[in-house]
Each structure stands twice: as structure tokens, then as C-alpha cells.
Amino acid sequence: MRLRLLGFVTSPFAIASAASLLTTAVVFASATLVTQTAPTEKPAQQSATHEAKSLSEETIIKRAEAARDSWWAYKELVAPAVPAVRNDAWCRSDIDRFLLAKLEAKGLVPAPEADRVALIRRAALDLTGLPPTPEEIDAFVADASPDAYERLLDRLLASPHYGEKWGRHWLDLVRYADTNGFERDSDKEAAWKYRDFVVRALNADMPYARFVRAQIAGDELPDRDFDTLVATGFYRLGLWDDEVPDLKQALADDMDGIVDTTARTFLGIAMNCARCHDHKGDPIRIREYYQFAAYFAGVAPYKESPFNSIEADNVLRMVRRDFGHADPEAEIAAFIARREALVGEIRALEAKSGRVTLDAFPDSAPSEGLVAHLKFEDAKSATAVNAVDASKPATVRDAGFEAPGIIGKAFHFDAGDDRVEIDRPVGDDFTISFFFRTTDVGGGSDSDRRWFLGKGLVDGEIPGIVRDFGVSYIANGYISAGTGDPETFVSSGPGHNDGRWHHVAFTRSRKSGDITLFVDGVAVDRARGSKAKLDSPRKLAIGAMLPGGGAFAGDIDEVRFYERVLGENEVRSMAFGLTRPEAVRADLAARAGEDAAERFDELHAQLAALRAPDWKGETVLAVRENAAPRETRIMQRGNPHSLGDVVEPAVPLVAARFEPAPAVKPAHGESAGLRLALADWIVDPRNALAWRTIANRVWQHHFNDGIVPTPNDFGRFGEPPTHPELLDHLATRLLAHGGSLKAMHREIMLSSAYRMSSVPTDAALAKDAPNELLSRFRMRRLTAEELRDSMLIANGTFNAAVGGPPVLPPLPREVLETSSRPGEVWPLTPEESWTRRSLYIKLKRSLQHPLLSSFDLADLDSPCPERFATVVPTQSLSMMNGDLTNEEAAKLARRLERERPNDLRAQIALARRWTSGRTPDAREIDEAVAFIAELKAKENLNDAQALNSLCLVLFNMNEFLYID
């Protein structure tokens, strides 16, 4: 049984929903067996180039077994012997010895240490993606203590910006984007929480094994929590077509994305080649591709019908931040017990006042503003009496049934055609109040609780974007309410289908647009919606949705409409049948003494202060499994309509030096445990491939190239490592550090190799021009994000906030016009967000930030293990002429004027420091002064304009764009 809302008891009725889910799964499974009836989609002519000849299975198996011991990537991981070097004095660590040995063999000497300015800029950008401030540079340059550099690294590693920088590397691998692509390119809801998980995990130095297990099987971990569930968003990052021409094909493509991304990211294996046929380079059979895919067979697909939809229930979960660390069930039980105790004691004191009796539920509803009141004392008649205005009764459709009410009788709805209709009595300010009880499962779903999807309690839904409103009953006992245009809704937590009476009040203020939902006297949710008169529905339906359908099964009683917003105290009194305290206090004091009266006051205060626990949690994008994993069958030639043998989960033979442990179904029973078995196998210290893969990635981003230059392909189509022993050394060190990436950064960056200057000697150029052997450091260009962020840092506008939903800063009109919805495609977020880190700019598949895209942002649709670094004239155009760079340059100029008023030379010196870290010499300042003078004289610019031009030039300088 899938328990959708984690951490809550399912009501007995959840079984019904599980059963319906099962049906869905069965339908899905049978759908895959239907043969395609469309005209044949086979190309009319067969390709002339297709290589039909394949090796026999046996041969491939033999090759795979042989490759495990012969191909470097699959070999057992053992700490390699450290080579002896002549110049051991240069070596700070074994990393240096591995490198130096190769250099010495070629007769090369390592470059001298980089100067301190270069070193701190290099380290800061590598670890945080942000340049150091002049103050930080000065402090480091002046720090003569032997551990100055070490402390610098520690400071940078502790920065919250470290996770942002290294998180971006990770996001490139897993195809992170904020939208789904295709016609609507809709938002991938809550994807950003996955991004934030990655940042958080890296900042916390989550051991790599845990990091991997969380993403592959975070929901199956015995100690799962919010973060590990969010981590499984890993499965949900693909391109999703919400309206597919061929469902089976679309699901096969999504699965391929999962298989390929998993194999490449964690193992450096290119599995996708075997999707259609046995791999041409590596000994991986088509069968093995589908065996690997079988680990994910339980993952509920993003789509179950070809029509325009994405299965929110399959891909979203409601989770509380403290999930796994708190016990929400107990919290809720305690809350209910506490509420009942308070109410019970208040009622008992009320009785002592002599004004109230305990045997009946007192009707304590206020009468001010009451415009309609249905008591349902005679449900069988054709009309329901309106106790406020007998001339405006409600109409009873079909026959009603009586049931015992909370007061007198109630209207019983049997989920048939019965419903009550009343002319809409309110539309501006209002409160709708009623009691209900049910054991039914509502409409909508746990993760999609928009009121108009539910079963009607009091409803005025009119299809379309109109001024309507209503209260309904959703899925596993949620209550939802909302107003239309713009669609705004509020909802409660689940579990209100316990067969007990519950009070609901929905208030709405026209002036503010505020809507509040109260359940059992407590405000459970608030939102701000339409400020218009809600006059679209002419009538309201009770016990059904107004347009038809959504028939409610249960009892409803005491429906009241007020043309005002009731206060919390009033709602609370109504919900519990409490008498106004002022009405009984004096009598209570007189009869039972002042102590009792004080106790009475105190109880009321406590009840008023009582807050419901967080029922809802928040939406996260996560994995969810079907009740039973689907069967995985080989798709012949990769064609989902041409199914072959059924296969069981297995890892590729070539990588299987040892077998994964059998899957164990997790105690929560939501999934099969297959993915956890796979994750455990991947991160097993014996899995050399996995540890080499991550060790190589860490190295790659420090030295601007991997030891294996193809980080996502360690097979025969990839390139072999330049320093295989060093790679194994790093992998074993990473294991020794317990998978701590921060420890690895430290170890690598403390080496002499990392501290080398990037300037080559003639000898180095002659003997190793490509610098494959690393006789000097490799310069690199700033990434797209670093480029933009560095401009914001330089001009002082950088907003350093970490995490949160994507931001949308202004884009050029010309870019927006490429969208099919230019006016709606890019709704700006508040201005303070415009200078957030580039990491947070919305990654929309159909529309990208032009500067970031131009500077080689990763392709959002496929794994990107290393970015291109192109140099094209259009980059120069955007850097010189674009609004963005010109605006940032002008802001830099204004900052200079503020900080060094009326001192051009000081402004220039500071500008150079902010953009390159370096203090310019007198000649450079002279040149800049002359430049400004020239612009002022020849171009008739004022001081500010000329300074803008200088700042723009500085942003275009290679000294700014490249890291030494």
C-alpha cells in the first residue's frame, strides 16, 4: 500500500485508495501489451549503414569476464605503490610524487609556485565559484604563517557557497532543469528542492556513499528523512512530454534517461549504447541494459495516459521538513487530545455556571451577518428551510435522507444524485460554516488538492478562469477550499474521514483577498486570492460539485452563510459549541468561585493559543513506486512495441566483480528495495569503477581536465587515464577519508601540483605543449555562472542568499519574443532576486538566459560531464553591447565613485582589484587615466560615462575572464 503522505496514519479508508491505485497499475501494465494499431511507423527504407553483424552472446560474456581484469577501469582497486622521485623536496604529498615521476621521466620540471594573488583567486573560484575580495586577498598575501594557505582552504570549504559551486557540477551530470520541456514547458514542480538538497549535502560534506544512496534509494533507506526523499528527485529530472504521441515510447525514453544517467554519473559506464543492440565498444549486451533497467521497474512513471497530463501523484510527495526526525502521528494525536481536554474542561465549567447544560451540543453560532442557515431538520422534503429567510429556501434535488445531526437532524448524502442547491447568498466578504462527517475517500488526490477536484461540501465551481469559490472534500480526508481567477486554494491535512463530526469554516475578505480555512476551530491554512466580487456561480451546491459529479457520501449539518469574515474566537465557539465566555463568567465566579473563573479564562486562552501541527508538509519531487514493480522485458532494437524476454534485475557483467546483495523490502513496504540493493552495490568499497569515477570528477574540476579525460565514459569509447596510478591513489584516499569530498579537495589543493603557476617554460612547451603531464597549472575560463556572478560581486550588488525557488531576472525583449508566449513565459521575481547567484536563475528548457547560454551553459536535456568553452564573436557582442553587461559595468562605476570619490586613480586601482584581484602598477593606471581622458575629449563623455566605459572594458578583459 502506498502511503502518500509520509508520517501519517492512513485512515481505514486508505485501503480503498490503495485499491484504486492498484487498478491504475494493472491498467498500465496491460496497456503495454496492446499492440500498436496505428499505421506502421517503420522507415520505408532500411538503412544501408546499419551494422547488423553482432558478436555472439557467448563471445561478449567471455570478453566481459576478461575485461574485468584487463581493462583499467574495471580492475580491482588497490592502493598503488608510490613512485620514487628525484626531487622529493618538491613533493608535499603522494599526489605530487605520482605527477613528478612522469614529469621527470620526460625530463620536465614542475612550474614554480603561483603568486599568492593567483593562488587565492584560483582556490576561491574553484571551491566557491566566487572571486575573493581585495580584503581577503590582502589578508592572505600578508599572512606569513606556514598554515596560511591551509586555513584559506578551510575557510573556503566551510563557505555555504562551496555547495553551490560543486552542486552545479553535479547538476550538470543529472540533467537538472526547472521545467519539463515540450509544448507547455511546464514547471517541474519543486525541482529546486533537489537542487537545494545537492547544495546542502555538499556543504554538510555528506559522505559520498550516503549522497549516492540518497539519490538512488533515499526512500528505501532505514534512516530516511526529508533530505533523502528530496534526493530521489534524481529520478524526476528528465524531459517530460505531457502530451505524448506514443506513451510507451515516451516512458521508454524516460527510463533510458534514468538508466543512462545512473550508469554514467555513478559508474562512468555508457549503458545507453546497449539500449538497441549489444554495445559496439564495451562488452555489454542489450539484455544487460534491460537487466539494469529492471532495478527501476517499480518507479511509478511520470505519465499514465497519452493525454495532456503529468501524474502528480506519482512524482510528488507531501513531506514535512522534520520527517524522519519527528513523529507527526503522535503530534496530531496529542493535539487532538489536548484540544478535547480543554474543550471538555471549559464545557464542564460552563455547566457549573448554571447557564449551560452538558447533554446537548449547544448552538453558539453568532447571528450578526448571518444571511442563510440550513438546519436540515427535514431532509425528506423538496426544500430545505432557510432559518434566516423562509422566503429563500434551498432546493433538494433527488430524495434526501435524514441522519442524526450534530444538532437535531442532518442531511445524509449517499453519493448518488442527491444534492441541495441554494441561490448564492454571498459573494463579497463571507464565512461559510458547517459540520460534516464521513468515512468516504474524496476527489482529487493527496498531492493535488485544488478544491474543484474534490467532492462537494459547499461548492460554487464554474469551469474556466472565473470568479467562483467552494469548499470540497479531497482524497484521504483533506478539506480544501478556494477562490477563482486567479485560482487560489487552501487545504487542511488528511484524516477527516474518521466518521466523526468536524466543523469547517471558510472565510474570505474581499478587500484583502485573504481566504482562511478553519477546521475544528483552528485556522489550518491561509492564502491571498481574488479581490473581485465572486459572482460567477448563480447557485451553490451542497453535497455535490455545482457543475455535476463530485457527489459526497456522508452527513452535513448546520450550513451557515455570513456576509462577513468571522473572527477566530467566533469560529472556535461555533466549532465546539462554546458559549461566549462573557456570558457565563460572572455566573461561574458567583457559583464556583473566582478560582474557577480564572481557570476558565486560562482554559480559553490556552484553547485560543492552540495551533494545529503541520498537517501538510510540503511538496517534493521524489520517487514513488508502483504497488508491484512492472515486468521488465527486452525491447528488441530498443523498440517498446517489440518486446522480448522478461529479465530480472542485474548489474552489467563487465562491472560485476561482485554481485549486489538480494533486495530486501523496506519495512515501510512502499517499494521493493531493489534500488537500495543497487545503490549499496555501487558504493561498496569494492566497486572500483564507482570510486574511480568520483575521484576523477573531483580532480577534473580542480585541474580543468580529468585524469580520465572522458569523465562519463570509462569504457573503450572513452579515453584512458593519463595517470592511472594517481587515479587509483585518489580513489583509495577518498575511501580512506570515508567518502569525504571536502577531505579530498583539501588533499588535492594542498599538493604542490595544485599550487603551480600556469606560466609554461619553453622546455615545457617543447616537450609537453598540451600539458597532459601537468608541468604547470591549466588556466581556465570562468564558467557562464562564474562570469555573471563575478560581475555582481565586483559591483557590489551580489545577493548571497542560498537556496529557494528559481529566480527570474529581466531578459532582453528579443529573447522573450522567441517564445510562443512572449508575455507570459518569463514572469519576473522581485527585484532583490535579480542579483542572486546564477545557479538560481530558472533553467527553462525552451528559453534560456542569453549570456549564460552564450558562455556554454550545460545542455539541459542530456548528461553534461564537462562544459564546452567556446570562443565566438557573439559572446564578444553580448559582453560589449548587451544590456546586462553594460548595466553591471555602470553599477561598478557608481560603486567606485561612492567608495573612492573624486579620486580617479584610486577608482581605477580598485576597479582592477575587484575584477582581477591584482593591484595594477602605475603604468596601467596611467593608461586607464589616458583612456578616460580620451573618451571625455573625443567622445564628449562626462566622468561617469567614461568610467562606465572603463568598467565595461575591465569586464571584457581576459584577466577577468580567465583564472591563472
Q: Which of residues 881-910 bind other proteins (CB under 8 A)?
A: 881-883, 886
Q: CA dihedral in degrees (381, 387, 388, 392; nearest 10)?
A: 0
Binding mask 290-309 for other proteins (x = CB under 8 A): ----------------xx--
DSSP run (H or E) holding 596: helix 594-609
What is the distance between the alpha carbons of residues 254 and 259, in angstroms, rounded to a whole number? 9
At its nearest, how many Å lie between other proteins and the CB of residue 321? Answer: 35
Residue 292 CA, chain-centre distance (Å), reads: 26
Q: Which three cell numbers stand for residue 731?
A: 580513489
Q: How many residues bind other proteins (CB under 8 A)?
A: 117
Decide: is 276 part of the binding site for other proteins (CB under 8 A): yes
Closer to other proteins by CB, 402 or 959: give it: 959
Closer to other proteins by CB, 106 or 380: give it: 106
At its nearest, how many Å lie between other proteins and the CB of residue 214? Answer: 25
At its nearest, how many Å lie between other proteins and the CB of residue 917? Answer: 13
Decide: is 245 part of the binding site for other proteins (CB under 8 A): yes
Decide: is 767 part of the binding site for other proteins (CB under 8 A): no
Q: Which of residues 508-567 bind other proteins (CB under 8 A)?
A: none
At its nearest, how many Å lie between other proteins and the CB of residue 656? Answer: 19
What is the distance between the alpha carbons of residues 538 and 446, in angstroms, rounded to a whole number? 30
Residue 493 CA, chain-centre distance (Å), reads: 22
Decide: is 327 part of the binding site for other proteins (CB under 8 A): no
DSSP run (H or E) holding 523: strand 522-528
Q: What is the SS3 assignment for 560?
A: strand
Question: Which range binds other proteins by CB under 8 A, 430-438, 498-506, 623-631, 952-960?
Answer: 952-960
Which one of residues 19, 23, 927, 942 is an interface residue with other proteins (CB under 8 A)?
927
At its nearest, how many Å lie between other proteins and the CB of residue 190? Answer: 22
Closer to other proteins by CB, 159 or 775: give it: 775
Which one of residues 94, 172, 253, 680 is an interface residue with other proteins (CB under 8 A)?
253
Closer to other proteins by CB, 223 or 814: give it: 814
What is the distance between the alpha carbons of residues 845 and 847, in angstroms, rounded to a whole number? 6
| CB neighbour list of residue 237: distance below 8 Å, 6 or more residues apart | 174, 175, 176, 177, 188, 191, 194, 257, 261
At its nearest, how many Å lie between other proteins and the CB of residue 279? Answer: 8
Decide: is 673 part of the binding site for other proteins (CB under 8 A): no
Which one of residues 472, 483, 693, 771 is an interface residue with other proteins (CB under 8 A)?
771
Query: Burial level of 619, CB count in 10 A (0-12/13-18/19+)?
Result: middle
What's phi and psi for 691, nearest 5 deg? -75, -30
Which one of residues 272, 492, 530, 829 is an interface residue with other proteins (CB under 8 A)?
272
Decide: is 863 part of the binding site for other proteins (CB under 8 A): yes
Decide: is 935 part of the binding site for other proteins (CB under 8 A): yes
At its nearest, how many Å lie between other proteins and the CB of residue 258? Answer: 14
Decide: is 780 part of the binding site for other proteins (CB under 8 A): yes
Please calculate the CA angle 958-963-964 and round it to the nearest 5 degrees. 100
Decide: is 636 part of the binding site for other proteins (CB under 8 A): no
**Strand 643-647 versus strand 632-635 pairing type:** antiparallel
What is the distance between the alpha carbons of residues 295 and 300, in angstroms, rounded to a whole number? 12
Report the candidate in 236, 208, 214, 210 with the shortest Cα–Cα distance to residue 227. 214
Which one of residues 862, 900, 905, 943 is an interface residue with other proteins (CB under 8 A)?
862
Question: Which range binds other proteins by CB under 8 A, 314-322, 337-345, 755-763, 802-810?
Answer: 755-763
At its nearest, how many Å lie between other proteins and the CB of residue 870? Answer: 5
Task: Determine contact, residues 512/528, Cβ cutoff 8 Å.
Answer: yes
Which one of residues 159, 249, 431, 491 is an interface residue with other proteins (CB under 8 A)?
249
Report the candidate in 312, 321, 328 with the shortest Cα–Cα distance to residue 200. 321
Which one of residues 181, 400, 543, 652 is an interface residue with other proteins (CB under 8 A)?
181
Decide: is 953 part of the binding site for other proteins (CB under 8 A): yes
Decide: is 861 part of the binding site for other proteins (CB under 8 A): yes
Q: Which residues pair with residue 523 across a beta bridge?
A: 518
| CB neighbour list of residue 33: distance below 8 Å, 6 or more residues apart | none
Q: Which of residues 680-709 bind other proteins (CB under 8 A)?
A: 704-705, 709
Angle between helix 134-142 and helix 148-158 axes, rounded to 10 deg: 150
| CB neighbour list of residue 765: distance below 8 Å, 6 or more residues apart | none
What's phi and psi for 323, nearest 5 deg? -55, 135
Task: Determine contact, residues 552/438, Cβ cutoff 8 Å.
Answer: yes
Decide: is 759 part of the binding site for other proteins (CB under 8 A): yes
| CB neighbour list of residue 109: distance below 8 Å, 6 or more residues apart | 87, 103, 761, 763, 775
Which one of residues 769, 827, 831, 902 is an interface residue with other proteins (CB under 8 A)?
769
| CB neighbour list of residue 127: distance below 8 Å, 6 or more residues apart | 153, 156, 157, 159, 162, 165, 166, 745, 749
Question: Which range binds other proteins by CB under 8 A, 112-120, 124-132, 733-741, 758-766?
Answer: 758-766
Q: Which three cell numbers stand for residue 748?
A: 588535492
Decide: is 779 part of the binding site for other proteins (CB under 8 A): yes
Which one of residues 30, 47, 145, 367 is an interface residue with other proteins (CB under 8 A)?
47
Task: Determine contact, residues 714/263, Cβ cutoff 8 Å.
Answer: no
Query: Burial level of 864, CB count in 10 A (0-12/13-18/19+)?
Result: buried
At its nearest, how many Å lie between other proteins and the CB of residue 75? Answer: 18
Question: Which range binds other proteins by CB under 8 A, 39-47, 78-86, 493-501, 691-699?
Answer: 39-47
Q: Which residues pair with residue 187 across a beta bridge?
A: 179
Q: Which of residues 48-87 bind other proteins (CB under 8 A)?
A: 48-50
Question: Which range binds other proteins by CB under 8 A, 6-14, 472-480, 796-804, 856-864?
Answer: 856-864
Decide: is 270 part of the binding site for other proteins (CB under 8 A): yes
At its nearest, how many Å lie between other proteins and the CB of residue 71? Answer: 12
What is the distance between the alpha carbons of residues 492 and 510, in angstroms, rounded to a whole number? 22
Decide: is 856 part of the binding site for other proteins (CB under 8 A): yes
Decide: is 454 part of the binding site for other proteins (CB under 8 A): no
Q: Which of residues 150-169 bind other proteins (CB under 8 A)?
A: none
Max CA separation in the chain (angstroms): 106
Decide: is 185 part of the binding site for other proteins (CB under 8 A): yes
At its nearest, how many Å lie between other proteins and the CB of residue 880? Answer: 7
Which one of residues 693, 790, 875, 907 is an interface residue with other proteins (CB under 8 A)?
875
Question: Which range binds other proteins by CB under 8 A, 213-221, 235-243, 449-457, 510-518?
Answer: 235-243
Cell 480544501 belongs to residue: 480
Closer to other proteins by CB, 565 or 787: give it: 787
Q: Which three cell numbers stand for residue 121?
A: 583567486
Instruction: Return the amino acid letter for 138.
Output: D
Which one of residues 188, 352, 604, 845 is an interface residue with other proteins (CB under 8 A)?
845
Binding mask 809-828 for other proteins (x = CB under 8 A): ---x-xx-xxxxxx--x---
Cell 459572482 belongs to residue: 535
Question: Which range binds other proteins by CB under 8 A, 183-191, 195-203, 385-393, 692-700?
Answer: 183-191
Question: Which range binds other proteins by CB under 8 A, 326-334, 504-512, 690-698, 860-868?
Answer: 860-868
* Phi and psi based region of residue 177 (left: phi greater than 0; alpha: psi -120 to 50; beta: remaining): beta
Buried b (16+ CB within 10 A) or exposed e, 675-709: bbbbbbbbbbeebbbbbbbbbbbbbbbbbbbbbbb
Closer to other proteins by CB, 273 or 318: give it: 273
At its nearest, how many Å lie between other proteins and the CB of residue 256? Answer: 10
Decide: is 847 part of the binding site for other proteins (CB under 8 A): yes
